[in-house]
């Protein structure tokens, strides 16, 4: 098989790369390790009620403990969605001593675009300048202005609903109309604004449509997105980029095909294609292309580069710097505060809004006001009412209990902090030569720990959250200041960082490997810092920008 | 005779019983179909009867069916066998003998056996043969003990959680006692609460985090 471009992976960035490259006229192979899932036809549980499920939505926990011991810890993993997550027993990974890391994965056509949280935030120059300012990691070779037009393009294509707030630290985008705050959230927003003018609570900016877009319908306010959405109302490969790419007539999709290695020609210094395992026939095959985009998901992209070591690049493909695999990150996150919010009992909501709220970063911007840390944190969460599940925690039985549970329960407000993660060389990915997976490929080994900066940020976030919710009339009942295990934010990134210098980074400012001109890595692996907001929108903007560059280079004969 | 038959339970009788129950109260059989138990962990008929009775006490019939009516008792037994509500977590090494004597082979508590013995002990006779009022009082006392100040972990909490789940995720509990809307279409952020307001069992955020 011979193509202009091969895209490894079909998730959020793989699908986007396939769309951009095919629309630019290239003949593209998108290769996916997992099974095919067809839009509108294979969302098996989308319309199921709890009483149609063998375990009423809770799932067979005994089986999960055997087969999905990591994935079952993901809050999006349920009996309805289990088919959209990997079987951990069949897809093992190794952890260094002392590492506590939950790697949440979705191996299927569409990857994690089917299960993602859809929160879509621009990064700002507070983020792109973070490494340069405090000296951690390496300086980003780009700034916000480089990416702004690509954010515009991506937002207009994927559809992001949100409110314009004019914040420097969380730039506005090309938004569809925002979803609504409920009365408690509106109240907390106003209290924050009155007492801390620099703090802004706004509705989540989410890739759920509030206006129809082409064949995609508006969000139905079900909030069961991870089952798959036949309305196409949230952005996924299936709903958005795959149809666009297929419409060009230039895309070939291969599923159940695990790319083991990138083929490298030392004479030309170029990759020539990929070698992959056809899981259906258990045979190994190759595909050839002029350029390769690696979009396997941050850690799997690094895994592939490490496993593609060759005689001229013995420590991994495109790793002359030696930093491949290092400086991995994930947001440090924790439940900073949950508060009961009396006084709002006269109202409730109907419908299930598929987003919460966000409180934009407000620390360590123009002045350093963090206590023990120099970067940012923000909150996500929202106000919700309790229901019958709260009765599990309280005494009471009988008719009185049943009558009580007929009504919407107490309002409560939740703030979950996401803190910037310092890029550290010691947090790294390697190949475990002693352990292989079911396909005979060395397992990925993760070494990861949060440091004092993240813990300090979460401690301040907890104190701030309690102060704000108390000021808003809330009764804080719980809060934490320690991060969950690495991976908990499902924002793992880094490992093939972008930088100015080929001696200290893997990729240049175009997401192009310093060492291999026709190799691009445009998923989370390219990230040089983490910021404190969700990264997927930035991955897509970087992908669109890299595709444009790659196509230009191809046409100019540079690669 | 295998273990299941020895306990008076088999797949056929179980589904047969379920079918009779469904017919009696007009429920779809789908509401109470579920996977088989391991043969050596199959509940006895007495355990099924007791769990049904207890479920009905926790959520009685009003203008909608009670938890026992809708098969929550069987769901509790299924959930206990399959680890729902962390029911297959091993007992701690310092668990009292009153619990340790009901350990399964894997070290977890056999809550169904424990509950049988606990309620019989509290009744000082066969729990299923005392009056309904007495049964309700005994379960209320157990509930009070399980949630008393300072008590953090109690097997009754596991059983009660599964009764609630079994009821409010059934069609009668989820869509008649409460409201259920799989495709709301719109989101209304501020809706007045009236005497007629009923919560939505399809408010997934409330279910997961409330």
Can you give the pLDDT at residue B152?
A: 86
Residue A78: half-sphere exposure toward Cβ, Cα within 13 Å? 22
Answer whether B209 sits within 8 Å of A407, measured CB to CB.
no
Q: Nearest-CA neighbor of A331 among A167, A154, A494?
A: A494
pTM over 0.90: yes
Q: How many angstroms separate the CA atoms of A195 and A452, rounded? A: 29
Helix segments in A235-350, DSSP class H: 242-247, 298-307
Are the CB atoms for B62 and B79 separated by under 8 Å? no
Helix segments in A362-406, DSSP class H: 399-406
Answer whether B199 sits within 8 Å of A408, measured CB to CB.
yes
**3-class secondary structure, A314:** coil
**Best of A64, A340, A349 to mutate (most B CBs within 10 Å, chain B):** A349
**3-class secondary structure, B71:** coil
Instruction: Find chain B residues with C-beta within 8 A of A222's C-beta.
Output: 182-184
Instruction: Find chain A residues with C-beta within 8 A of B61's C-beta.
Output: none
Q: How far apart are the first and last CA of chain A?
A: 20
Can you give the pLDDT at residue A438?
A: 83
Answer whether B210 sits within 8 Å of A75, measured CB to CB.
no
**Residues paired with residue B200 on neighbouring β-strands, in sequence order:** B179
Answer whether A406 sits within 8 Å of B180, measured CB to CB.
no
Answer whether A405 sits within 8 Å of B199, measured CB to CB.
yes
pLDDT digits (tens, 9 = 90+) for A155-188: 999 999 999 999 999 999 999 999 999 999 999 9
Q: How many angstroms separate the CA atoms of B36 and B94, rounded? A: 32
Q: At A287, which helix (H) or strand (E)? A: strand A283-294
Q: In this complex, which of B33, B60, B157 lies closest to A398 when CB atoms are compared? A: B60
CA distance A217 to chain B (A): 11
Can you give the pLDDT at residue B210?
A: 87
Answer whether B83 sits within 8 Å of A350, measured CB to CB.
no
Are the CB atoms for A34 and A107 separated by under 8 Å? yes
Q: Please determine, for residue A360, whether its predicted confidence score (pLDDT) is greater than 80.
A: yes
Instruction: Find chain B residues with C-beta within 8 A of A210's C-beta.
Output: none
Answer whether A179 sits within 8 Å of B187, measured CB to CB.
yes
Beta-carbon contacts of residue A279 (< 8 Å; ≥ 6 apart) = A33, A256, A257, A258, A439
CA distance B85 to chain A (A): 8
Q: How many angstroms separate the CA atoms of A344 and A137, rounded? A: 46
pLDDT digits (tens, 9 = 90+) for A7-53: 999 999 999 999 999 999 999 999 999 999 999 999 999 999 999 99
**3-class secondary structure, B158:** helix
Residue A427 CA, chain-centre distance (Å), reads 19
pLDDT digits (tens, 9 = 90+) for A309-342: 999 999 999 999 999 999 999 999 999 999 999 9
Q: Please determine, for residue B13, whether its predicted confidence score (pLDDT) is greater than 70.
A: no
Six-digit token pair at A179? Answer: 């979803």
Length, in residues, of chain A: 559
Q: Please determine, for residue B5, whether its predicted confidence score (pLDDT) is greater than 70.
A: no
Answer whether B174 sits within 8 Å of A50, measured CB to CB.
yes
Q: How many angstroms separate the CA atoms of A131 and A423, rounded? A: 9
Instruction: Find chain B residues with C-beta within 8 A of A395's C-beta.
Output: 143-144, 146-147
Six-digit token pair at A446? Answer: 């993760």
Q: In this complex, which of A55, A384, A403 lies closest to B209 when CB atoms are compared? A: A384
pLDDT digits (tens, 9 = 90+) for B144-185: 999 999 998 999 999 999 999 999 999 999 999 999 999 999
Q: In this complex, which of B62, B87, B186 lies closest to A221 when CB atoms are compared? A: B186
Rounded to 10 degrees, the C-alpha dihedral A39/A43/A46/A49 comes to 160
CA distance B47 to chain A (A): 20
Beta-carbon contacts of residue B59 (< 8 Å; ≥ 6 apart) = A397, A401, A402, B66, B67, B72, B163, B164, B167, B173
CA distance A121 to chain B (A): 22
Beta-carbon contacts of residue B193 (< 8 Å; ≥ 6 apart) = A345, A346, A347, A348, A407, A408
Answer whether B207 sits within 8 Å of A389, measured CB to CB.
yes
Are the CB atoms for A558 and A549 separated by under 8 Å? no
Answer whether B190 sits within 8 Å of A75, measured CB to CB.
no
Rg, C-alpha atoms of chain B: 18
Answer whether B189 sits within 8 Å of A349, measured CB to CB.
yes
Answer whether B139 sits within 8 Å of A397, measured CB to CB.
yes
Q: Nearest-CA neighbor of B55 among B78, B33, B38, B36?
A: B78
Across the range A147-154, mean pLDDT stands at 98
Average pLDDT over chain A, rounded to an integer: 97
CA distance A220 to chain B (A): 4
Angle between helices A12-23 and A536-555 (to 10 degrees): 30
Q: How many angstroms separate the CA atoms of A395 and A407, rounded? A: 17
- Count contacts between A and B (CB, < 8 Å): 197
Can you give the pLDDT at residue B40?
A: 73
Q: How many angstroms separate the CA atoms of B149 and A409, rounded? A: 23
Can you give the pLDDT at residue B27?
A: 43
CA distance A531 to chain B (A): 27
Across the range B39-60, mean pLDDT stands at 93
pLDDT digits (tens, 9 = 90+) for A469-495: 999 999 999 999 999 999 999 999 999
A510-524, B16-30, B115-129: the lowest-pLDDT one: B16-30
Q: How many angstroms separate the CA atoms of B161 and B184, rounded? A: 27
Answer whether B147 sits within 8 Å of A395, measured CB to CB.
yes
Instruction: Find chain B residues with C-beta within 8 A of A347's C-beta.
Output: 190-193
Are the CB atoms for A368 and A450 separated by under 8 Å? no
Six-digit token pair at A531? Answer: 């910021």
Across the range B186-203, mean pLDDT stands at 97
Question: Is B90 within 8 Å of chain A by CB?
Answer: no
Fill in the DSSP letter of residue A177.
P
**3-class secondary structure, A336:** strand
Residue with tokens 């300086």: A139
pLDDT digits (tens, 9 = 90+) for A229-255: 999 999 999 999 999 999 999 999 999
Answer whether A61 sits within 8 Å of B81, measured CB to CB.
no
CA distance B166 to chain A (A): 8
Which of residues 130 through 189 in chain B touch A, CB cutoff 8 A?
136, 139-140, 143-144, 146-147, 157, 160-161, 164-166, 168-171, 174-175, 177-178, 180-189
Closest chain A CA to residue B56: A398
Task: Kindly tell me the sign of the dihedral angle through the C-alpha atoms of A399, A403, A406, A407.
Answer: negative
CA distance A42 to chain B (A): 18
Which of residues 32 through 71 in chain B touch A, CB cutoff 8 A?
33-35, 57-60, 62
- Cβ neighbours, 10 Å, residue A167: 17
Six-digit token pair at B66? Answer: 């009670």
Q: How many angstroms separate the CA atoms of A333 and A310, rounded? A: 38
Can you give the pLDDT at residue A1?
A: 85
Work out the angle at residue A272's Cα, subtended by the Cα atoms of residues A270 and A273, and round it to the nearest 5 degrees. 135
CA distance A351 to chain B (A): 4
pLDDT digits (tens, 9 = 90+) for B86-101: 999 999 999 999 999 9
What is the predicted ipTM?
A: 0.94
Pairing mode of beta strands A270-278, A411-419? unpaired
Instruction: Find chain A residues with C-beta within 8 A of B59's C-beta.
Output: 397, 401-402
Can you give the pLDDT at residue B37?
A: 72
Q: How many angstroms separate the CA atoms of A485 and A332, rounded? A: 8
Q: Please determine, for residue A101, whether its predicted confidence score (pLDDT) is greater than 80.
A: yes
Can you give the pLDDT at residue B31?
A: 43
Are the CB atoms for A39 and A239 separated by under 8 Å? yes
Can you give the pLDDT at residue B3?
A: 36
Q: How many angstroms separate the CA atoms of B50 and A348, rounded? A: 38
Closest chain A CA to residue B75: A55
Six-digit token pair at B36? Answer: 């088989």
Across the range B111-116, mean pLDDT stands at 98
């Amino acid at each position: 098989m011979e193509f202009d471009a091969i895209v490894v992976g079909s998730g959020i960035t793989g699908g986007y790369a396939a769309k951009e490259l095919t629309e630019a006229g290239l003949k593209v192979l998108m290769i996916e390790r997992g099974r095919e899932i067809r839009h509108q036809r294979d969302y098996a549980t989308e319309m199921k009620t709890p009483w149609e499920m063998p375990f009423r939505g809770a799932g067979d926990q005994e089986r999960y403990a055997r087969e999905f011991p990591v994935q079952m810890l993901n809050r999006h993993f349920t009996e309805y969605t289990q088919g959209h997550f990997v079987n951990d027993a069949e897809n093992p990974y190794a952890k260094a001593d002392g590492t506590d890391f939950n790697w949440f994965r979705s191996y299927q056509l569409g990857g994690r675009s089917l299960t993602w949280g859809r929160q879509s935030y621009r990064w700002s120059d507070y983020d792109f300048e973070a490494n340069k300012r405090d000296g951690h990691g390496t300086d980003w070779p780009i700034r916000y202005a480089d990416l702004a037009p690509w954010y515009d393009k991506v937002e207009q294509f994927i559809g992001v609903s949100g409110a314009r707030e004019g914040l420097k630290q969380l730039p506005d985008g090309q938004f569809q109309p925002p979803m609504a705050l409920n009365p408690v959230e509106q109240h907390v927003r106003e209290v924050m604004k009155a007492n801390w003018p620099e703090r802004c609570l706004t509705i989540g900016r989410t890739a759920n449509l509030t206006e129809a877009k082409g064949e995609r319908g508006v969000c139905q306010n079900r909030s069961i997105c991870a089952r798959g959405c036949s309305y196409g109302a949230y952005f996924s490969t299936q709903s958005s980029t795959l149809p666009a790419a297929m419409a060009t007539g230039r895309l070939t999709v291969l599923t159940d095909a695990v790319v083991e290695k990138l083929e490298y020609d030392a004479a030309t210094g170029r990759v020539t294609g990929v070698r992959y395992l056809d899981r259906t026939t258990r045979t190994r095959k190759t595909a050839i292309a002029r350029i390769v985009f690696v979009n396997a998901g941050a850690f799997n992209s690094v895994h592939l580069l490490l496993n593609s070591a060759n005689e001229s690049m013995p420590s991994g493909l495109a790793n002359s710097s030696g930093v491949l695999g290092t400086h991995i990150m994930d947001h440090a996150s924790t439940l900073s505060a949950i508060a009961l919010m009396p006084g709002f009992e006269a109202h409730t909501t109907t419908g299930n809004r598929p987003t919460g709220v966000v409180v934009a970063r407000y620390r360590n911007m123009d002045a350093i006001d963090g206590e023990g840390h120099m970067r940012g944190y923000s909150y996500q969460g929202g106000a919700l009412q309790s229901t019958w599940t709260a009765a599990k925690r309280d005494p009471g039985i009988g008719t009185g209990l049943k009558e009580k549970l007929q009504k919407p329960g107490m309002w409560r407000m939740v703030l979950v902090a996401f803190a910037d993660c310092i890029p550290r060389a010691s947090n790294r990915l390697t190949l475990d030569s002693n352990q292989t997976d079911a396909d005979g490929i060395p397992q990925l080994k993760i070494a990861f720990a949060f440091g004092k900066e993240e813990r300090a940020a979460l401690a301040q976030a907890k104190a701030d959250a309690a102060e704000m919710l108390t000021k808003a009339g809330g009764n804080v009942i719980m809060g934490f200041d320690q991060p969950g295990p690495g991976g908990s934010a499902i924002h793992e990134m880094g490992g093939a960082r972008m930088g100015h210098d080929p001696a200290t980074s893997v990729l240049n400012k175009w997401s192009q490997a310093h060492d291999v001109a026709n190799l691009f890595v445009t998923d989370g692996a390219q990230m040089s810092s983490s910021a404190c907001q969700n990264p997927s929108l930035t991955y897509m903007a970087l992908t669109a920008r890299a595709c444009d560059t790659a196509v230009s280079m191809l046409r100019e004969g540079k690669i | 005779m295998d273990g299941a038959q020895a306990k008076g339970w088999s797949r056929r009788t179980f589904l047969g019983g379920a079918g009779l129950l469904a017919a009696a109260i007009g429920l779809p059989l789908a509401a109470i179909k579920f996977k088989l138990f391991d043969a050596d962990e199959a509940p006895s008929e007495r355990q099924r009867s007791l769990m049904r009775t207890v479920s009905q006490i926790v959520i009685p019939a009003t203008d909608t069916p009670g938890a026992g009516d809708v098969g929550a008792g069987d769901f509790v037994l299924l959930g206990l066998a399959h680890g729902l509500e962390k029911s297959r977590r091993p007992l701690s090494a310092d668990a009292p003998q009153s619990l340790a004597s009901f350990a399964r082979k894997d070290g977890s508590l056999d809550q169904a056996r424990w509950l049988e013995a606990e309620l019989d002990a509290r009744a000082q006779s066969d729990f299923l043969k005392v009056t309904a009022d007495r049964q309700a009082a005994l379960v209320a006392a157990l509930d009070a003990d399980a949630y008393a100040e300072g008590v953090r972990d109690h097997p009754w909490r596991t059983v009660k959680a599964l009764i609630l789940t079994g009821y409010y995720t059934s069609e009668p509990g989820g869509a008649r006692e409460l409201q259920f809307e799989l495709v709301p279409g719109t989101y209304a952020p501020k809706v007045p609460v009236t005497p007629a307001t009923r919560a939505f069992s399809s408010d997934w955020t409330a279910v997961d985090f409330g």
